[in-house]
Structure 1
């Protein structure tokens, strides 16, 4: 696995943890949680496209 994929996987994991933390703190419908979820979706789409 190359460096860019490792970075992408790391970013996916950090974003996932951030989203979970935000959801626990503010609830699932909070705009910050939704925004983080959308970022995670984009990252996962990039990963899927490149794997």
Structure 2
């Protein structure tokens, strides 16, 4: 499971079973781009796929 965490608030904003496709999100690309940089896999042992 992938968790997308907002870099500003630390809140989990999205749950993913697989990485997002390369296409950019449509709304608020600046904020989501920062949040996408904080994809966390700690709950699966910290491994990055």
- Identify the TM-score tier after normalising by the shorter chain: 0.3 to 0.5
More strand, by proportion: 2
More helix, by proportion: 1
